[in-house]
Structure 1
Amino acid sequence: MVPDTAAVPVAAPVIGEEEIAAVVRVLRSGSVVQGPEVAAFEHEFAELVAGRTCVAVNSGTSALQLALQALGIGPGDEVVVPSFSFAATANAVRLVGAAPVFAEIDPVDYCLDPAAVAAAIGPRTAALLPVHLYGHPAPMGPLLALAERHGLAVLEDACQAHAATLHGRPVGAFGAAGCFSFYPTKNMHALEGGMIAVQDRQLADRLRLLRNQGMAERYRHEVVGGNLRMTDVSAAVGRVQLRALAERTARRRANAAVLDAGLRGVTTPAVAPGAGHVYHQYTVRVPRRAQFQAELARRGVGSAVHYPVPIHRQPAYALELDLPETERAVAEVLSLPVHPGLGEEQLARVVAAVTATAEQFAGAVR
């Protein structure tokens, strides 16, 4: 647990004695890249995604890129994505030579708005790439219906949503492929790494070729691939984290419930009917965000903005688009501590600091 005397951090990656022991065990084994630990991690992670075949890679970005590539998406194709996400969502599309088409989000759950997606589909559209943002599932039913109507692939960016569900079905098990990230601040991590969950075993075989220089056997290159393998060190850490995921998810949800019940003066996260939110981030909307965040810091409560600039306005894209809900979210969202390392006293401090700050700002306006 984080000491109660410290400022309350917005994130706290877990690296405990069990993770350290797993790393030492792998290093002593001499098998450190794409070995038995990776195979075991893939097998165990499959239980989280309804038994789908899982292929481990070196990052969540690699997972997205290889999934797009394996699905045959490339130059001349368009992929509908949200602009309100981490840049890797769109970068992966660009990295395979395709073009991201940015669609509007729903202002309640920050995920792709199906009506906006329908309007964004054109003759070159090859795939939809919804993001389960902050750990809340995207509206997969309408998106899958759109994809079927137009003959499109669906690739899920589940990099923030390990163990999230929609109507009892795990995210990552809806589309042709579901991609996860194991960055240290995620709900579970592997120091660094990614996972692709697929239903089609032939697609899994192609992904294995692409991550390993196109080799099915040593020095025989079936396709042009890259070096995107996961290390056994990462896999060993991931296996430890996976065993703790259910407990830590329950703690995130319990912490979120405390915040839901206690916070005043801010817009707390909504949860869609049937959605199993896993609270990678607990994101509220606040007035005068920069000042609000500074006041929280003064009161000893950490916070973060995910994300301060939409992807379409990043220098790498620099597009002029009419996405008002995206722009409003960019200006208002603020993520508060919700991680499983929080104790009761720290949660109480978060509630008190946020509520007092909101009251202070409301008084200044009157």
Structure 2
Amino acid sequence: MGTLETLKLAGVGAGDEVVVPAYGNAEVARVVVELGAVPVFGDVDGGSYCLDPAAVSDVVTGRTAAVVAVHRFGRRAEAGRLREVGERHGLLVRVVEEPGTDPEGAEPGAVELRREHVTYLDSRLRGVRTPEAAVGHTYERYVVRVPGNGRPDRDAFARALRAKGVACAVPVPAPVYRMPGLRRDVVLPETERAVDETLALPVHAGMSRRELHRMVSMCNALGGLLSPAF
């Protein structure tokens, strides 16, 4: 059952508030708006990029009816802690897959190859912060942080990699609360930092070890020019 149907069956509607992640896709927030309810943006955990249960507690009000969390980049949201928050406040909690991903559809061999690539990158990349390890992480996207003073450093880093043929991408270009039709006058620090610093590097199963080594060499050469901000 989809998020829209779940919220409808729970009676969520006009005047209700639904806590949603501030970092990631806008689809969940737009579903809330479609119901006539109000999306309230919660900050994310800086390691998982998923909705932070503590941040949910910070934004719950008497009008809050539900929480919708999203698994991000193959990392699972903290469903247990989120449900504890929900039980404490009497809220519906829904945890969904990231739009556009199909974790059940990948061939097992492809997933294992991707994890091998991740292990190689984790052990060799310097000058960027590699993804936080977690049980069950499938690395749908391999998202690093580029240290420095925010977006100009990350964007310059990305341009230099693309110029050498590395298909990197900024995974989330703006907080959801700055997107058209969803604008709110809030600033959430972990979300802002994640938007400014994150970069997705290619890690698909078809990559050769030579391609991975070349990407590592380029990243390390660029990263060495930046001052770590960890």
TM-score by length of 1: 0.58
**1:284 match: secondary structure:** strand
Query: Corresponding residue for 2:6?
Result: 67
- The answer to whether residue 2 in structure 2 is matched with residue 137 in structure 1 is no
Deviation of residue 247 (structure 1)? 2.3
- The answer to whether residue 139 in structure 2 is matched with residue 271 in structure 1 is no
* Cα deviations by residue, 1:75-107 (Å, 9 ceiling, x for unpaired): 121111111011112111111221111011111
- Kept after mapping to 2: 8 A contact 1:260/1:268: yes
Distance verdict in 2 for CA 1:332–1:144, change over 3 Å: same
* Cα deviations by residue, 1:126-172 (Å, 9 ceiling, x for unpaired): 1111111111111122111111122211111212xxxxxxxxxxxxx
- The answer to whether residue 50 in structure 2 is matched with residue 104 in structure 1 is no
Query: Corresponding residue for 1:281?
Result: 141
**1:305 match: secondary structure:** coil
Percent identical across equivalent pairs?
Answer: 41
- The answer to whether residue 215 in structure 2 is matched with residue 330 in structure 1 is no
Please show how residues 166-245 of structure 1 align to structure 2 within 5 Å: 181=99, 183=100, 186-187=101-102, 242=105, 244-245=106-107
**1:109 match: secondary structure:** coil
Distance in structure 2 (CA, Å) of the matches to 1:289 and 1:334: 7
**2:69 match: secondary structure:** coil
- The answer to whether residue 214 in structure 2 is matched with residue 349 in structure 1 is yes
- Kept after mapping to 1: 8 A contact 2:127/2:226: no
* Cα deviations by residue, 1:285-336 (Å, 9 ceiling, x for unpaired): 1130111001101221111111111010112122111311111111110000
Unaligned runs of 5+ in 1: 1-54, 56-62, 160-180, 189-240
Aligned length: 222
Query: Corresponding residue for 1:151?
Result: 90
Q: Which runs of 4+ in 1 moved over 6 A?
A: none
Paired residue type of 2:120:
V
Query: Corresponding residue for 1:113?
Result: 52
Distance in structure 2 (CA, Å) of the matches to 1:347 and 1:89: 34
- Kept after mapping to 1: 8 A contact 2:23/2:44: yes
Deviation of residue 187 (structure 1)? 4.6
Distance in structure 2 (CA, Å) of the matches to 1:96 and 1:251: 41
Between structure 1 and structure 2, the one with the greater Rg is 1
Deviation of residue 345 (structure 1)? 1.6
- Kept after mapping to 2: 8 A contact 1:301/1:349: no
**1:295 match: secondary structure:** helix
Distance verdict in 2 for CA 1:71–1:349, change over 3 Å: farther
- Kept after mapping to 2: 8 A contact 1:187/1:249: no
- The answer to whether residue 173 in structure 2 is matched with residue 308 in structure 1 is yes
- The answer to whether residue 121 in structure 2 is matched with residue 259 in structure 1 is yes
- The answer to whether residue 158 in structure 2 is matched with residue 293 in structure 1 is yes
Paired residue type of 2:130:
T
**2:181 match: secondary structure:** coil
Unaligned runs of 5+ in 2: none
Distance in structure 1 (CA, Å) of the matches to 2:31 and 2:107: 27
> Paired residue for 2:109, among 247, 258, 268?
247
**2:203 match: secondary structure:** coil
- Kept after mapping to 2: 8 A contact 1:301/1:353: no
Distance in structure 2 (CA, Å) of the matches to 1:70 and 1:132: 22
Paired residue type of 2:129:
T
- Kept after mapping to 2: 8 A contact 1:337/1:350: no
TM-score by length of 2: 0.90
Distance in structure 2 (CA, Å) of the matches to 1:74 and 1:85: 23
Distance in structure 2 (CA, Å) of the matches to 1:148 and 1:245: 37
* Cα deviations by residue, 1:154-206 (Å, 9 ceiling, x for unpaired): 111212xxxxxxxxxxxxxxxxxxxxx4x4xx355xxxxxxxxxxxxxxxxxx
